[in-house]
Structures are given as C-alpha cells and as structure tokens.
Structure 1
Amino acid sequence: MHVRVTLVTAPLGATGLAERFADDRPLDQAAWHAVQLAAHALVPLSAAGLRYCSPTHRSRATGDALGFAPLVQPALSDWDMGTWRGLTLAEAAAHDPRAVDAWFRDPRAAPYGGESLLDFVTRVGGWLDTRPFEDGGVLVAVAEPAVVRALLVYALKAPPATYWSLDPGPLSTATLTGHPGRWILCLEPPR
C-alpha cells in the first residue's frame, strides 16, 4: 500500500499572538491575506480523497477558505500546555526557569501539567497510523505548526529532540508518502 499525506501549516497571524502557547485565536487580517495569496498553490490539494484539520479556529478556517471542507480531528489538537496555555515562553521562563529548561531537555517532562513532548508526538502519530488509507490514497490535513512538527518527528522516527529543529512556516506544506510505519518525507518545488 502506498499513500500520500500532505500537511498544511495553518497561519498564526500577528507575531505577538503566534508566540503564545496554545492560543487558539481566529485568523487575523494578516493571516487571511496570507491564505488568499497562497490559495492558487494550495487549492488543488482539495482533490484529496480525505481532508482533515485540527480543531483550532485557524486550522478550520484555513481548510474552509481553501475549499477543503475538512473533517475536524480531535487527535490533531494542538499541544496541551496545561498551566502554560496562553503564556509566552518568556512569561513561563520568568515564572519558573527550571521548568522551562526541563521541558526543553527531557521529552518526558510536562512541568506545566499538560502533555509531554513524547505524549504529544505519540498522540498525533497514532492519528496518522490509523487513517483509513486505500492504496494510492491521497490525504490532506491542515494543522497548527506544533502538530505538523510532531507528525514529522513521528513519521520519520526521528529522536524527540528533532522537534525543536523543525520550523514549518505559515501555509507551508510537507508531504509524506508510504504507509503507516514507513514514511518518506518528499521535498518538492513550489507549484
């Protein structure tokens, strides 16, 4: 069985808002403009047989604006940041620098009471492995940057620390081909 999964990163909008943990705000004017500019390249993905999105406002609105009519997937929810939800990294570090250090160093740490990095990667990876793929199937999913990072770490069987080295930009795409348990990251020229 061979399938194609394209991940589309939802735009975050204004820089100040993008830096807050799990801050589920709707698309702002800048993000809407970015979606409109990228639409010509992304709308063809609406032909995918399976179209999904994270439950965030941004992901749903992006998928709808691109004509995907995506099915919301709770397993693609953003990283559960517990008590850090809505804080910036600087605010969390000012409150408890040792907790932030532990969070970056240990993929099992969750000093904020939410999901650890390993739990997060496992959750979204489980979603990828349980899709109803058919041979030759095509899937598209719009998700928050953290979700895209976690899916890539899982699919590539990369060490958890790799998560911190991935930076999917707004409305970027990453395509995986293969099947559950054996994924290949395809890097393609812009359309």
Structure 2
Amino acid sequence: MHVRVTLIAAARSSSMLAERFDDDRPLDQAGWHEVQMGAHRLVPFGAAELRYCSPTPRSRGTGEALGLAPLVQLALRDCDMGRWRGRTLSEVTAREPAAVDAWLGDPRAAPHGGESLLAFISRVGQWLDTRPADDGGRIVAVAEPAVVRAALVYALKAPPATYWNIDVRPLSTVALTGRSGRWSLRLDGNEAPGSA
C-alpha cells in the first residue's frame, strides 16, 4: 500500500525581505497575482482524494483560490517561534545574535521558547506518516514553504541541517510517494494527480 502526497507551497504574503517568523498575514497582491498566473497548472490537483492546508491565512487563501476547498490540518502549521513570532530574522538577530546562532547551529535548540527545528520536522513527518495508505491514493496539501522543507528533510531522512539548504518558492510543488517511514521524492511536481 502506498500513497502520493503532493505539497504545494503557499503563495506569498510579503516580500522575501519582509517575511516574519510564524507569519499570519493573508495573501498580498503579489500572492493573489501568483495564484492567478499559476492556477492553470495547479487547479488539476483538486482531483486528489484528500485536500489539506496549513492553518495560516495565506495557505488557506491559496487553497481556496485554487478551488481545492482544503481541510485545515493543525499539524501542518509553521514552526512555533515563541517570542520571535511576528519578527523578521534581521530584527531578532539585532536583539539576540547568540540565540539566533544557537537556533541555526543546533536543531534541538529553541532559544525563542517555541519549537526546535528537530521537533518541527518530526511533527510534520508524523503527519506525513499518518496519511491513509490506500494503494494509489492521492493527497494534496497547501502549506508554508517551511513546512514543505520540513517534509522533505523527514521523507529523505536527511540530517536536520539540510533544512537550511532547501529553497521552496511560492506555488512550487513536490510529490512524495510511499508509506509510513518509507518515502521517495518525485521531481515531476507539475503533474496533475491523475497522471501516471
């Protein structure tokens, strides 16, 4: 028994330089434009048997704009950044440079009082491993780019530090196939769920 999970990174809610930890802003104008421009290649994912999204406004907005009518999954929420929530990396670095270094250097560290990188990756992986394994079943999930990165690290059994080397762009897609504990990365992320 295996399942195919296609992850779609949510459209943007701010410019890359203005991104904030644990951001809860809705899609901005550029994000809506991205969805409109990319909808033709993403709408077919609505044929998936199960459609999910993270609870963030931009993930929900992306899923709704694509016509997916996704079910919110709390396990797909962004990393809990504790007291850093709502701040940019540059703001936090200016105030707590040693804490940022510890967070970036140790996947078990949570100097912000929230969730460590390792705990975040494990949470997303647990969600992935508990998807119903109906032979050939297809699932689509719209989530924050950080969630997609965490899922990839987990699925590939890569070292947690690999997380920092994965670039997930808005509306990019990636497919994972397999079952609990045995996942494969499929790099044809633009295929619709009904494709071979």
TM bucket normalised to smaller: over 0.9
Cα distance in structure 2, aligned partners of 1:172 and 1:189: 8
TM-score normalised per structure 2: 0.94
- Aligned match of 1:97: 97
Tell whether 2:124 aligns with 1:124. yes
Q: How much has 1:17 moved relative to structure 2?
A: 6.8
Q: Tell me the amino acid that sits aligned with residue 110 of structure 1.
A: A
- CA deviation string 1:20-49 (max 9, x = no partner): 111110111110010010000000000000
SS in 2 for 1:131: coil
- Aligned match of 1:115: 115
Tell whether 2:169 aligns with 1:169. yes
Higher deviation after alignment, 124-133 or 13-22: 13-22
Tell whether 2:43 aligns with 1:43. yes
Cα distance in structure 2, aligned partners of 1:16 and 1:7: 20
Q: How much has 1:104 moved relative to structure 2?
A: 0.6
Cα distance in structure 2, aligned partners of 1:120 and 1:14: 23
Cα distance in structure 1, aligned partners of 2:131 and 2:121: 16
Cα distance in structure 1, aligned partners of 2:189 and 2:171: 15
- CA deviation string 1:102-125 (max 9, x = no partner): 001100000000000001001111
SS in 1 for 2:185: strand
Deviation >6 Å, runs of 4+ = none
Q: Tell me the amino acid that sits aligned with residue 12 of structure 2.
A: L
- Aligned match of 1:180: 180
- Aligned match of 1:19: 19
Cα distance in structure 1, aligned partners of 2:93 and 2:168: 24
Q: How much has 1:12 moved relative to structure 2?
A: 1.9
Over 3 Å counting, the alpha-carbon distance change for 1:164 and 1:8 in structure 2 is same
Q: Tell me the amino acid that sits aligned with residue 11 of structure 1.
A: A
Structure 1, gaps ≥5 residues long: none
TM-score normalised per structure 1: 0.96
Q: Is the 8 A contact 2:175 2:189 kept in 1?
A: no
Structure 2, gaps ≥5 residues long: 192-196
Q: Tell me the amino acid that sits aligned with residue 117 of structure 2.
A: L
Q: Tell me the amino acid that sits aligned with residue 135 of structure 1.
A: D
Q: How much has 1:177 moved relative to structure 2?
A: 1.1
Q: How much has 1:18 moved relative to structure 2?
A: 4.7
SS in 2 for 1:112: coil
- Aligned match of 2:80: 80
- Aligned match of 2:194: none
Tell whether 2:5 aligns with 1:5. yes
- Aligned match of 1:137: 137
Cα distance in structure 1, aligned partners of 2:189 and 2:178: 19
Aligned residues: 191
